[in-house]
Amino acid sequence: MALPLVAFAQGAAADVEPAEPVRWQLNMTPGVTHTAQMAYDAHMFALWVCVAIGLLVFAAMAVAIVKFRKSKGAVAATWSHNTTAEIIWTVVPVIILVVMAWPATAKLISQYDTRNSEMTIKVTGYQWMWKYEYLGEGVEFTSRLDRESDALRQTGQVPTLAANPRYLRDVDNPLVIPVDTKIRFVITADDVIHAWWVPALGWKQDAIPGIINEAWTDVKAPGIYRGQCAELCGKDHGFMPIVVKAVSKQEFATWLAAQKAKNAPVAAAPAAAAEAAPAEAAPAGEAAPADSAPADEAAPADAPADAAPADAG
Ligand SMILES: [Cu+2]
């Protein structure tokens, strides 16, 4: 009974991130999503059913051992068949299993129900990194082991918790998502089978080349949630961690806008090229290539590249 207190004290002392497991932890964490909470609830329900069965069985054993012991003159029963008893010990476990399976099935179905999601993120596994695409937003990037861990693992030095608290658990570009938003994930791989797993989100999904798997999440609390590839995928399987940074909706909108601005050279290029184009390279007429159009005719910076005349270039 004291162990959780010890764990709590250790967790508080070590400044552990929310949803991170702590030393001597005895139970699952409830996680930070609806799905994780469902898994936790199913687990706790099954646990208490097991506790009740355990108490009944061990109590019956104790009564049998103490009350009907040989020294009190008990004689072994001689019956070998009892239809009533057999029906009871078959029907009762079946009822218990149905009572547990019914809510568990409902939860499983809901776990795969990606309808009404507000945004979609495509996750692609590579040897040995992840690629994230915010579908419809034009934002994508890869996420790989942070350089510090990568350098340290190749020096042969032994990392310590004090000097390298996030050894092999940090990435260069974390996946940034908004809280309180139903996010659909479509998960695949480009080379071999990987699996995308962040325990605090409550699920693990295989990333298989040629197949799109689905999952969804709705993170309740802002924070940093860590995971890793969960399918043996080659020699660097242990070196492709996952970091999910859940932020407020407002912060996410700001971040996404910044990413769009950073990732949008296609839209900005024509105007920039036009400004730099020498006058003689811009003949009058409709045959002017889009990238050498006169400055006064240049498309606004935010216009898409395909806004140039169809016959240009
Ligand atoms: Cu992998």
- Domain ranges across the chain: 14-70+83-111, 119-261, 265-279+288-305
Interaxial angle between packed helices 34-67 and 83-111, expressed in degrees from 0 to 180 and rounded to the nearest 10:
160
Averaged pLDDT for residues 59-80: 90
0.85 surpassed by pTM? no
User: Rounded to the nearest whole angstrom, what is the distance from the C-alpha of residue 207 to the centroid of ligand 1?
Assistant: 8
Rounded Cα gap, residues 203 and 244, in angstroms? 14
User: Rounded to the nearest whole angstrom, what is the distance from the C-alpha of residue 229 to the centroid of ligand 1?
Assistant: 5
Q: Which residues pair with 178 in a beta bridge?
A: 247
User: Rounded to the nearest whole angstrom, what is the distance from the C-alpha of residue 24 to the centroid of ligand 1?
Assistant: 28
User: Rounded to the nearest whole angstrom, what is the distance from the C-alpha of residue 226 to the centroid of ligand 1?
Assistant: 15
Which among 184, 177, 178, 147 has a CA at the least distance from the CA of 164? 147
The string of DSSP codes covering 113-169 is --TT-SEEEEEEEETTEEEEEETTTTEEEEE-B-HHHHHHHHHT----TTT-TTTTT
For residue range 167-179, what is the model confidence (pLDDT) as tens digits? 899 999 999 999 9
Residue 18: per-residue pLDDT: 57
User: Rounded to the nearest whole angstrom, what is the distance from the C-alpha of residue 166 to the centroid of ligand 1?
Assistant: 19
Does domain 119-261 fall under CATH 1.10.443.10? My reply is: no
User: Rounded to the nearest whole angstrom, what is the distance from the C-alpha of residue 191 to the centroid of ligand 1?
Assistant: 10
CATH class of 14-70+83-111: mainly alpha
For residue range 272-300, what is the model confidence (pLDDT) as tens digits? 444 444 444 444 444 444 444 444 444 44
DSSP helix/strand/coil, 206: strand
- Evaluate whether 18 touches 36 at the Cβ level (below 8 Å): no
Residue 2: per-residue pLDDT: 55
- Evaluate whether 244 touches 217 at the Cβ level (below 8 Å): no
What type of residue is 25?
Answer: Q
What type of residue is 92?
Answer: V
CB atoms inside a 10 Å sphere around CB 56: 10
For residue range 18-38, what is the model confidence (pLDDT) as tens digits? 567 778 888 888 889 999 999
User: Rounded to the nearest whole angstrom, what is the distance from the C-alpha of residue 154 to the centroid of ligand 1?
Assistant: 19
User: Rounded to the nearest whole angstrom, what is the distance from the C-alpha of residue 213 to the centroid of ligand 1?
Assistant: 15
H-helix or E-strand spanning residue 74 = none
User: Rounded to the nearest whole angstrom, what is the distance from the C-alpha of residue 115 to the centroid of ligand 1?
Assistant: 28
User: Rounded to the nearest whole angstrom, what is the distance from the C-alpha of residue 224 to the centroid of ligand 1?
Assistant: 21
